[in-house]
Amino acid sequence: MDFMLTDEQKLLRDTFREFCQKELTREYVRWLDENCDFPPEDLVEKLAALGFFGISIPEEYGGAGAGMFDFCVAAEELATSSVAVAISMGLTPAFGGRPIAELGTEEQKREHLPRIAEGKEKWCMALTEPAGGTDILGAIATTAERDGDEYVVNGSKMFISGAHVADYILLIAITDKGAKRSRGLSVFIVDARSPGITVNLIEKVGIHACGTTEIHFDEVRVPAGNLLGTENMGWYHILGTLNPERIGTSMLSLGIAKAAFNDALQYAKERVAFGKPIGQFQVIQHYLADIAIEIENARNLIYKCAWLCDAGERYDVEATMAKIVACRASEKAALYGMEIFGGYGFTMEYDMQRHFRDYKQMMFSPISDEMSKNYIAQSYGLPKSY
Ligand SMILES: Cc1cc2nc3c(=O)[nH]c(=O)nc-3n(C[C@H](O)[C@H](O)[C@H](O)COP(=O)(O)OP(=O)(O)OC[C@H]3O[C@@H](n4cnc5c(N)ncnc54)[C@H](O)[C@@H]3O)c2cc1C
């Protein structure tokens, strides 16, 4: 086992760390949270110039040809500075780059991958429906019916991140109504500006700078050539996207935890009570030690998952565990962070309130802790509890 980053990975980390220090200043991140539903285009261009969108795209299509581990190295820096930037910038590699690289035809790869690597396409994924996200196979009702050389899409999707700015939607819809649900879904590349698509932003508690939307599809015509992978195998295809997504979302939670920890640590050294910095009180030290332990724990598990992913090993259970461990780290950091800040934590003057609002999204998206534990328990041979 080797816990050392390679020289290339150290360079990648340092490059993104310097970028974050320069571009994602505390003031800028606060401004994003208060004013934006997606990071501005100039930030997208700067990250594209840094190669962020192409990290995991094969070299022959204009990317760096690196794997999930390297992606995590860069994403950790972004997420620690701004989870909203990390999540919004991560949508395209996760829901455009990876599925097309894995499932796309040569034509689809040539059309999209170089543009994704250059930061010229934005993607989102539309899986969840108004009737439910956990029981997605039971809730899904959006259909794509074949009509000549096209599919006609009707239905609604709920809680879709980044659809308001997306160029393309990775859509999961029913293509065989008569089949068992897991054998009747397909994945499509949908031009987000197609007639019949309506996108509405949803007001939410946290991660403001990565807007979440509802999408309505009304007789939307999708060329048959935009089917991604094999018809009716969409459920199995999409698992190849959802498992890496769990690594990515674990990294987002880790970023929130680290940001909250850093703020709390600094405050504990500066704030004075009874003539001493509050960081001298044992209980405050224990709060910080507890957060630090969970951060280290989460970090190790996330990178193990990334390593398994790159090695072509199974990592679905580990990634589901990482999702929980990282969420718990962010929860502990935000809750203890609020304690350490006392009354100032409850004001809008400090960023702890933002960490406190942001961590909550990660608890149930893309998969809730409850469902994650069901999945983990089943992996040990226990029967389905639902
Ligand atoms: C801000 C945000 C961004 C999102 N972005 C996207 C996106 O980009 N694309 C996308 O497709 N989706 C997205 N989602 C959807 C997200 O994946 C779902 O919210 C999630 O899957 C949970 O589904 P639900 O909200 O419908 O809750 P429900 O499925 O209604 O669950 C409600 C509660 O019941 C519990 N529960 C349900 N079934 C069980 C069971 N069998 N055992 C134990 N407990 C159970 C759940 O754990 C949860 O606590 C996003 C959601 C949010 C809020």
pLDDT band at 184 (very low <50, low <70, confident <90, very high): very high
| b/e sequence 124-155, b meaning 16+ C-beta within 10 Å | bbbbbbeeebeebeeebebbbeeeeebbbbbb
As a dihedral over the C-alpha atoms of residue 18, residue 22, residue 23, residue 27, rounded to 10 degrees, the angle is 130
Confidence of residue 45 (pLDDT cuts 50, 70, 90): very high
CB 189 within 8 A of CB 168: yes
> Quick check: 194 and 222 in contact, CB under 8 A?
yes
Cα(6) to ligand 1 centroid in Å equals 37
Both tokens of 343, joined, read 């009354």
Between the alpha carbon of residue 166 and those of residues 21, 103, 174, 269, 308, the distances in Å are 27, 20, 22, 43, 30
Please tell me the distance between residue 134's alpha carbon and the centre of ligand 1 in angstroms: 5
Tell whether ligand 1 has an atom less than 6 A from the beta carbon of residue 371: yes
Least confident range of 47-56, 178-187, 190-199, 236-245:
236-245
Identify whether residues 193 and 240 lie together within a single domain.
Answer: no
Measured CA to CA, the distance from residue 305 to residue 69 in angstroms comes to 8
The rounded mean pLDDT for the chain is: 97
pLDDT given for residue 31 in this prediction = 98
Two tokens at 307? 């390593």
Work out whether the CA dihedral 108, 109, 114, 119 comes out positive or negative.
positive
Residue 205 and residue 191 share a domain? yes
CB under 8 Å to 78, separation ≥6 — which residues? 16, 20, 24, 52, 85, 86, 89, 255
Can you give the pTM of this predicted structure? Answer: 0.96
Query: For residue 207, which atom of ligand 1 is closest to its CA?
Result: 1
pLDDT band at 49 (very low <50, low <70, confident <90, very high): very high
Does one domain contain both 109 and 171? no
What percent of the chain clears pLDDT 70, i.e. is strictly above it?
100
In this structure, the answer to whether residues 321 and 210 fall within a common structural domain is: no
Q: Is the CB of 374 under 6 A from ligand 1?
A: yes
Task: Give distance in angstroms: CA of 60 to centre of ligand 1.
Answer: 37
User: Mapping DSSP to helix (H, G, I), strand (E, B) and coil, where does residue 277 land?
Assistant: strand
Q: Do 26 and 100 have their domain in common?
A: yes
- The answer to the question of residue 374 being in a domain is yes
Whether pLDDT at 376 is above 90: yes
- Interval between CA 203 and ligand 1 midpoint (Å): 16
Residue 375 Cα to ligand 1 midpoint, Å, equals 14
Q: Whose CA is nearest to atom 11 of ligand 1?
A: 127
CATH at 144: 2.40.110.10
Q: State the pLDDT at residue 158.
A: 98
Last residue of some domain: 177, 205, 232?
232
User: Is 132 among the domain residues?
Assistant: yes
User: Considering the domain boundaries, does residue 98 fall inside one?
Assistant: yes
pLDDT digits over 328-363, tens only?
999 999 999 999 999 999 999 999 999 999 999 999
* Boundary of a domain, candidates 195, 211, 232: 232
User: Is residue 337 domain-shared with residue 275, that is, in the same domain?
Assistant: yes
The span from the CA of 371 to the CA of 29, in Å, is 32
3-state secondary structure 81-108: HCHHHHHHHHHHHHHHHHHHHHHCCHHH
Q: Give tens-digit pLDDT for 12-43.
A: 999 999 999 999 999 999 999 999 999 999 99
pLDDT of residue 258: 98
The response to whether residue 370 sits with its C-beta less than 6 Å from ligand 1 reads yes
Place 241 in a pLDDT band, splitting at 50, 70 and 90. Answer: confident
Candidate of 92, 157, 364 to mutate for ligand 1, largest count of ligand atoms within 8 Å of Cβ: 364
Number of domains making up the chain: 3
Q: Is 368 in the pocket of ligand 1 (CB under 6 A)?
A: yes
Q: Are residues 171 and 135 in the same domain?
A: yes
The span from the CA of 58 to the CA of 107, in Å, is 15
Q: Which residue CA neighbors atom 21 of ligand 1 most closely?
A: 133
Q: Are 370 and 271 within one domain? A: yes
Cα 43 to Cα 370: distance, rounded to the nearest angstrom: 36
**Do 195 and 134 fall within a single domain?**
yes
**CATH number (domain holding residue 101):** 1.10.540.10
204 and 252 housed in the same domain: no
| pLDDT at residue 369 in the model | 93
Mean pLDDT in residue range 6-11: 97
What's the pLDDT score for residue 335?
Answer: 98
CB-ligand 1 contact for 160 (6 Å cutoff): yes
Token pair, residue 316, equals 């679905």
Q: Residue 51: name the closest of 29, 75, 27 by CA.
A: 75
For position 384, what pLDDT does the model report? 93
Separation of 25 CA from ligand 1 center, angstroms? 32
Last residue within a domain, chosen from 77, 94, 121:
121
Does residue 248 share a domain with residue 369? yes
324 CB near ligand 1 (under 6 Å): no
Supply the pLDDT for residue 2: 83
Q: Is residue 1 part of a domain?
A: no
Full residue range of the structural domain in which residue 191 is found: 124-232
Domain-located, residue 384: no
Query: Which tens digit of pLDDT belongs to each residue from 123-162?
Result: 999 999 999 999 999 999 999 999 999 999 999 999 999 9
* Per-residue confidence (pLDDT) for residue 193, from 0 to 100: 97
98 and 147 belong to one structural domain: no
- On the question of pLDDT at 1 being above 90, the answer is no
**pLDDT 10s digits, 101-120:** 999 999 999 999 999 999 99
Task: State phi, psi for 56 to the nearest 5 degrees.
Answer: -100, 5
Is 364 a member of any domain?
Answer: yes
